[in-house]
């Protein structure tokens, strides 16, 4: 049986390599070729991972406006194959909102800059070819340039237990940090 995640990564890697090769051979066709390769990779990713269809980008040409509403917080890292980065892309990051961290009492925390005393509950981001796995607060408001072969967006969450995380039973959160604040989101502009 083929591992879908490995297959998707391999396909996206091949698409990015093809775009890089075409850049050298035909610079005038680079923008159209890059967008076509991005669209092919996204369509394939949706076929393989339909549950991630609620995350993606609008538009077919740069700049692309990309959103992830309620990023997955029940696992350390999740790849979002519907948001693709190609070499040379400029990526601007914004994020906000709150997450249910589970437990007793007021347990919601900010996704980007949580008030906690144990270093947990941070959202994380990886932009292949531009960042390692970093806490979101270090990326928000910044623009990164993608190098290497690019790849898919990876969002993660830091916690010591994932089974009770999510977006249910909203409360004001520890120290009222989520009072009047909605669920977590990530907004990326690719130009």
Residue 88 is classified by DSSP as T
- Alpha-helical (H) ranges within 26-178 are 30-48
Question: Shortest CA distance to 164 belongs to which of 74, 78, 56, 44?
Answer: 74
Show contacts of 18-24: CB within 8 Å, 24+ apart.
19/86, 19/87, 20/87, 20/149, 23/87
Reported as type and span, the H/E element at residue 123 is strand 123-126
Residues 7, 4: Cα–Cα separation, whole Å: 5
Please give the model's pTM, rounded to 2 decimal places: 0.77
* Residue numbers of the domain that contains 57: 4-190
Residues 51, 71: Cα–Cα separation, whole Å: 12
The total number of structural domains that make up the chain: 1
Tens digit of pLDDT at every position of the chain (191 positions): 333 333 333 434 444 444 344 344 344 456 666 666 666 666 655 555 545 556 899 988 999 999 999 999 999 999 999 999 999 999 999 999 999 999 999 999 999 999 976 889 999 999 999 999 999 999 999 999 999 999 999 999 999 999 999 999 999 999 999 999 999 999 999 99
């Amino acid at each position: 049986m083929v591992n879908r995640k490995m297959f998707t990564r391999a396909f996206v890697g091949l698409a990015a390599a093809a775009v890089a090769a075409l850049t050298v051979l035909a610079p005038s066709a680079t923008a159209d070729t890059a967008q076509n390769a991005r669209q092919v990779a996204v369509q394939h990713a949706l076929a393989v991972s339909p549950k991630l269809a609620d995350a993606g980008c609008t538009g077919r040409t740069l700049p692309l406006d990309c959103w992830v509403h309620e990023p997955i917080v029940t696992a350390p890292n999740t790849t979002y194959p519907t948001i693709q980065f190609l070499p040379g892309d400029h990526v601007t990051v914004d994020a906000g909102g709150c997450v249910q961290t589970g437990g007793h009492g007021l347990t919601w925390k900010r996704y980007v800059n949580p008030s906690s005393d144990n270093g947990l509950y941070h959202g994380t981001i990886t932009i292949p070819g531009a960042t390692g796995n970093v806490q979101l607060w270090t990326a928000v408001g910044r623009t990164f340039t993608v190098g290497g072969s690019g790849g898919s967006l990876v969002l993660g969450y830091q916690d010591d237990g994932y089974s009770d995380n999510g977006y249910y039973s909203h409360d004001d959160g520890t120290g009222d940090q989520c009072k009047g604040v909605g669920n977590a989101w990530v907004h990326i502009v690719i130009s």
